[in-house]
Structure 1
């Protein structure tokens, strides 16, 4: 199997490990990770500029590298993760290879350059977004809903942190909620380059004002798994995404006390015994105070959430679902 993926937070490795666990011979290739400083600059230009401003030559170069991996591996199956930055050079070669193919989307369609017409040609498609899957099916695309997941195969070490932890982008609504919680005397710590007070992160994000509570920079996945596991509670506050983020499954998966802002999470977890839902800062403060006073209660939720995750919501489970599309 050839796994073609962006390097994004190392999730390619979570998927690769799950495929190997399922018995596949996997050859991963990160199409946006050329070596050296120039490669990092290219990756930034490809992913962080609007599509209209991206240099086609960079996308073409990434596609040529992917084709070389295809020629080297000669796979029976190709699993492409996202792949919207790859050009027809890649897709034509993948089609000519005769390998079975599945396209796995972890982002919303409006954030990518695919059209429904194009996805009819590239399918079958799986997406984390139920809304997108419904729209694709109406457009005649072979599409299936596969939620995000927890990487149960990655080793991590819990990092004791007193209080509420948050890992993610510094959006105004998130900062407002975390400030409101901190004002009530709850310890709060946030991680991510936009929260960071290091001079390098301040220079590149232009976030000159601190959030008013402790913060750190970007952390690798193994480290933020440890942060969620070792925190008094882990906050999951969604942005404008359609559906449930990786953190929905990762926080309970590592044994964290998971606080999430979407009551629809009952689709996956029993609210109140396996995960907790909040609607604002007042709810978060109440939960934090109860967790501080009643460790038996909070530990029971941690244990139950972890059991549910390991039983139903790992990348191994998701890969087993996707196998049906090429089997």
Structure 2
């Protein structure tokens, strides 16, 4: 199958948290014999901050961030067996949502792949400029980055023919245990870009914990935090390139995941970094969100915290031996159940016939 995929960026993770999801999913589909063409705009300086060359398993088409460039990319995608419009391309999203549907043909299906379903659904229901909501029934299928039943319910009510969550996972060829790097030594590390619906939770779960444990070392990675006031025991690295992520995850005693507001409210949306950290054998501490126990066992494969004081309490009592044991158990679990090869098999089964996905939507609607 030839898959034409319109997304934010495959070759750059700069201000692009979906990059590792795209890479993991699409490389796994390529290993199953599918041909991938990825269309990404030249926008937000991502091309200046590439952290990988175009891979041998995908053709990458970078289009100028103009309507003409977008139209040429759409023209190039004609004739693909499957056309995917991902949410959050960043430019010309509404134009793409309207025009990818014109590529539908007897041999071409068009799928909406929502990598930020809570935000997309909120925009559909609240923005007067939304164009996607009325178009949902026209897509052959809706796939989502996660969200569980609440997201499936919401898309079903909008008329989706089928809505199926395809959760984040681990790509063990890119995220794996490495030797610790002193540059990333810390008691607790957090990696995430500064976003409006994440910042308050970072203040609570990370910065408050740092204030409560002034004798411990905290490490912050991600773009946008340069002017953020931080306790003296927090070291801010700025952008951390993906080739550094394994060392970033392996070097601290523990790694913290902080879910964005919308994802935490919706639940059942494990961020990519959950699996990246576990794949590196890190001891993961995550803020509490509904559905975590479907992916990792709290207390044995992951530590779950309900606020900053809880993070501080668990970190203060965490020994190096306990950290290693949790990291080892988390790694074993994700390798057994949560790799992108597992997810690609799910996607392939759905794409072999969308009728397999239809019962999911029908069951939710009943």
The TM-score with structure 1 as length reference comes to 0.79
* Deviation for aligned residue 1:230: 2.2
Give me the whole-angstrom Cα distance separating, in 2, the residues matched to 1:125 and 1:229.
35
Give me the whole-angstrom Cα distance separating, in 1, the residues matched to 2:163 and 2:46.
37
Is the Cα contact below 8 Å between 1:5 and 1:28 reproduced in 2? yes
Q: How does 1:161-176 map to 2 (within 5 A)?
A: 161-170=185-194, 171-176=199-204
- Decide which of 158, 182, 187 is 2:210's aligned counterpart: 182
Q: 1:85 to 1:167 in 2, by over 3 A?
A: farther
Residue 357 of structure 2 corresponds to which residue in structure 1? Answer: none
Is the Cα contact below 8 Å between 2:192 and 2:222 reproduced in 1? yes
Residue 136 of structure 1 corresponds to which residue in structure 2? Answer: 155
- Decide which of 290, 298, 322 is 2:323's aligned counterpart: 298
* Deviation for aligned residue 1:302: 0.6
Is the Cα contact below 8 Å between 2:101 and 2:138 reproduced in 1? no
Q: How does 1:229-268 map to 2 (within 5 A)?
A: 229-240=250-261, 241=263, 242=266, 243-264=269-290, 265-268=292-295
The TM-score with structure 2 as length reference comes to 0.71
Q: 1:177 to 1:37 in 2, by over 3 A?
A: closer
Query: Which consecutive residues of structure 2, in runs of 5 or more, have no partner in the other structure?
Result: 10-15, 49-63, 125-129, 353-366
Between structures 1 and 2, the one with greater helix share? 1
Residue 195 of structure 1 corresponds to which residue in structure 2? Answer: 225
Three-state SS of the structure 1 residue aligned to 2:298 is coil
- How many equivalent pairs are there? 295
Give me the whole-angstrom Cα distance separating, in 1, the residues matched to 2:45 and 2:321.
50
Residues 219-256 of structure 1, C-alpha deviations (whole Å, 9 max, x = no match): 22332343122221111111212333222322212211
Three-state SS of the structure 2 residue aligned to 1:308 is helix
Residue 103 of structure 2 corresponds to which residue in structure 1? Answer: 94
Is the Cα contact below 8 Å between 1:60 and 1:87 reproduced in 2? no
The yes-or-no answer on 1:145 pairing with 2:165 is yes
Residue 136 of structure 2 corresponds to which residue in structure 1? Answer: 119
Give me the whole-angstrom Cα distance separating, in 2, the residues matched to 1:38 and 1:247.
20
Is the Cα contact below 8 Å between 1:102 and 1:125 reproduced in 2? yes
Give me the whole-angstrom Cα distance separating, in 2, the residues matched to 1:39 and 1:247.
22
* Deviation for aligned residue 1:321: 1.3
Give me the whole-angstrom Cα distance separating, in 2, the residues matched to 1:244 and 1:238.
8
Give me the whole-angstrom Cα distance separating, in 2, the residues matched to 1:172 and 1:88.
32
Residue 59 of structure 2 corresponds to which residue in structure 1? Answer: none
Three-state SS of the structure 2 residue aligned to 1:87 is helix
**RMSD, matched Cα:** 2.8
Residue 216 of structure 1 corresponds to which residue in structure 2? Answer: 237
Is the Cα contact below 8 Å between 1:62 and 1:86 reproduced in 2? no
Give me the whole-angstrom Cα distance separating, in 1, the residues matched to 2:66 and 2:81.
25
